[in-house]
Amino acid sequence: MQLIDGGVTAPQGFIANGVLSGIKSGRTKEDTALIFSEKVCNSAGVFTQNVVKAEPVKLTRLRLKNRHKAQAVIANSGNANACTGEQGAWAAVRMTRAAANSLSNSEKIGMKVDEDDVLVCSTGVIGQQLPVEVIEEHIDELVEGLSKEGHEKARQAIMTTDTQFKECAVEFEVGGKTVRIGTMAKGSGMIHINMGTMLSFITTDCAISSEMLEKALHSSVEGTYNCVSVDGDTSTNDTLLILANGMAENPEITSDGPDYQEFLKALNFVNTQMARKIAGDGEGAEHLLVCTVQGAKDVQSARNLAKSVISSSLVKAAFFGKDANWGRILCAMGYSGELFDPQKVSVSFSNSKGCIKVYDHGNPVDFDEDNAKILLSEKEVGILVLLEEGEASGTAWGCDLTYEYVKINGDYRT
């Protein structure tokens, strides 16, 4: 497996673009993105578990449930189109209809695109009606600008409070053919276990059935996107979509086996990269926290313990203060719902500056606080928890809780 450039346009047959439609006043960067495949794709998705779901989530879920197919995704930032009633539902439909009509009428595309094969996503402020007419006014510009280089504008268009774009692409071999997976994501705040205010789009030219694509996506999400927390809030708009157009012409993956496992390995890799980038770019964050639990009774237990640690506000605040307050880690593990023997737990902090053990088999360790502060001042800090309950391990990603987070969210709407 090799890292390559290109994000969502790295796989064969995919092009993208982003334009500034003017959805939110004052924005000067692109706010509307479009991803398009030359061929209709087998598709799958994972969505927010929040009971309150945005109108684009409802529409996209319905279309994937009915068809398991897609050819294009249109997405906007600056407005979540959530809690907007019938008007918002119609705005989501209008976005897909405008994209389908413009694609179908474009000499550049040269084919009819079915409205039902266009998926839609939105992110931004909740409870305000989406000015869909400005998107419609710029839709032809969006379509005509589609290109292999368009991933750069598309990745910008989906950002809200993100401070950096998030994308990744890899190349690997399946069935004797070169296959690519590309992805881009946005996410900075309202991020919690089982996804958060994040949009993520994955494209691949691998030939894989809709059933196996859905299986791979759900399997991968459990150990990647569902192990990220920034602030404990699960959003109304979380959406993770994957489109596979089969243009790599590998023997179609229709069952578990070596080819499926190779595809899943690559999917896990790109999703892990996105999970890390989202956690590291948490609103106002100064540190990426990576908690790994080893020696657990099973993988789910390890993940649950790790997620409890990185979700703790007190743990996050301690890392902001560069305070090696390991007691908060033990406390967070204790209310995780998982059973373990505290007398067999060891905790260490580590990164490029070294490794410091702070708790050893139920006993505090006399460590150098000054050295610990140097280690905790690095951008990334690893939290290693060793149990003696079994052989399983799991990892979760989070960030520290800073003054800047409150500043960003205190007047986000106004």
**What tens digit of pLDDT does each residue of 174-220 get?**
999 999 999 999 875 444 444 445 799 999 999 999 999 999 999 99
Alpha carbon 8 to its chain centroid, in Å, reads 14
Check whether residue 100 and residue 165 sit in a common domain: yes
Q: Are residues 398 and 322 in the same domain?
A: yes
Residues 13 and 88 in one domain: yes
Q: How would DSSP label each residue in 330-348?
A: HHHHHTSS----GGG-EEE
Spatial contact of 44 and 70, defined as CB atoms under 8 Å apart: no
Residue at which a domain ends, from 280, 299, 317: 280
Instruction: Give the full edge-to-edge strand order of the sheet including 392-399.
Output: 363-364, 354-360, 346-351, 380-386, 288-296, 392-399
Per the annotation, the verdict on 292 as an active-site residue is: no
Q: Is 360 helix (H, G, I), strand (E, B) or coil?
A: strand
Dist. CA 189–CA 56, nearest whole Å: 19
Q: Which of 84, 160, 197, 239 is an active site residue?
A: 197
Whether 262 and 293 map to the same domain: the answer is no
Same domain for 140 and 96: yes
Task: List the beta bridge partners of residue 409.
Answer: none
Count Cβ atoms within 10 A of the Cβ of residue 151 and give its class: 0-12 exposed, 13-18 middle, 19 or more buried. buried
Predicted local confidence at residue 124, as pLDDT? 87
Same domain, 126 and 265: yes
pLDDT at 230: 57
pLDDT for 311: 86
What pLDDT is recorded for position 400? 82
Domain C-terminal end among 245, 280, 315: 280
User: What confidence score (pLDDT) does residue 286 get?
Assistant: 79
Note whether 338 and 203 are same-domain residues: no
Same domain? For 149 and 50 the reply is yes
According to DSSP H, which parts of 76-231 are helical? Answer: 85-105, 132-137, 139-144, 151-157, 210-223
Q: Could you tell me the CATH number of the domain that includes residue 252?
A: 3.60.70.12
Same domain, 273 and 325: no
At 219 the pLDDT is 94
At 226-258, the pLDDT tens digits run 888 754 555 678 889 999 999 999 999 999 999
Q: Which domain holds residue 337?
A: 288-410
* 269/342 same-domain check: no
pTM: 0.80
Q: Are residues 238 and 300 in the same domain?
A: no
Which contiguous run of DSSP H or E holds residue 304?
helix 299-311
- How far is residue 304's CA from residue 191's CA, in Å, rounded to a whole number? 16
Are 318 and 272 in a shared domain?
no
Extended strands (E) in 288-391: 288-296, 346-351, 354-360, 363-364, 380-386
Number of domains in the chain: 2
One-letter amino acid at 360 equals: D
Dist CA 409 CA 406 (whole Å): 5
Q: Closest Cα partner for 184 from 414, 408, 14?
A: 14
User: Which tokens go with 144?
Assistant: 């005509």
Residue 406, token pair as written in the block:
């409150």
Last residue of one domain, picked from the residues 246, 280, 314: 280
Which segments of the chain have a pLDDT < 50?
A: 189-196, 231
